[in-house]
């Protein structure tokens, strides 16, 4: 009898709040974005990661931004990596800000939400970027866009 092997364990990605915005149909692709971001960075074994991603409105993001980061107003994404060892993270994304940004950048909302998931996971994994114009030239931004392109390419092929 051949030896049995356990199936490969993948990251745990928990998604919450999509229903409130009529976006529950995006759950699977957003989970996939989180997994691709985890596989694309080298700071934690992806199979050991546990990531919770909550989709909220501007008011909730503004409250979290003020309470935890001391900044006024809403933002697009806030990430908290918790503890040492395998990555355990809570990520909060404003759907309202994502809608505005998608319109401003001329991309579908789906693409902007995928970008924010990847961005949030990279932050939680320890990546950072400068503020202002130079952020688009940072290592984190370049990695984010490569991972997003891989994800979008995978979606176009299926």
Average pLDDT, the chain: 87
Radius of gyration of the chain (CA): 16
Distance CA(72)–CA(22), nearest Å, equals 27
In a domain, 70, yes or no: yes
CATH assignment of the domain containing 23: 3.40.390.30
Structural domain count, the chain:
1
Backbone angles phi, psi at 100, to 5 degrees: -65, -45
Q: Are 98 and 113 in contact (CB under 8 A)?
A: yes
Nearest Cα to Cα of residue 41 among 14, 94, 81: 81
In a domain, 87, yes or no: yes
In a domain, 133, yes or no: yes
Report which of residues 43 and 62 the model is more confident about: 62
In a domain, 23, yes or no: yes
Distance CA(4)–CA(56), nearest Å, equals 43
Span 33-58, mean pLDDT? 84
**Confidence band of 157 (pLDDT split at 50, 70, 90):** very low
Distance CA(18)–CA(100), nearest Å, equals 17
Span 66-88, mean pLDDT? 90
Q: Are 122 and 143 in contact (CB under 8 A)?
A: yes
Burial bucket for residue 137 (CB in 10 Å: 0-12, 13-18, 19+): exposed
In a domain, 57, yes or no: yes
Long-range contacts of residues 97-100, Cβ cutoff 8 Å, at least 24 apart: 97/58, 97/61
In a domain, 7, yes or no: no
């Amino acid at each position: 009898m051949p030896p049995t092997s356990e199936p490969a364990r993948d990251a745990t990605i928990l998604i919450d709040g999509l229903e409130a915005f009529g976006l529950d149909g995006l759950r699977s692709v957003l989970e996939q974005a989180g997994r691709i971001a985890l596989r694309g960075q080298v700071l934690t074994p992806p199979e050991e990661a546990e990531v919770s991603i909550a989709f909220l409105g501007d008011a909730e993001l503004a409250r979290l931004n003020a309470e935890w980061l001391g900044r006024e107003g809403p933002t697009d994404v806030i990430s908290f990596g918790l503890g040492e060892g395998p990555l355990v993270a809570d990520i909060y994304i404003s759907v309202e800000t994502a809608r505005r940004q998608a319109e401003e950048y001329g991309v579908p909302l789906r693409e902007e939400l995928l970008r924010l998931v990847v961005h949030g996971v990279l932050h939680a994994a320890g990546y950072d970027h400068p503020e202002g114009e130079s952020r688009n030239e940072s290592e984190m931004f370049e990695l984010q866009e490569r991972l997003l392109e891989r994800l979008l390419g995978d979606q176009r092929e299926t």
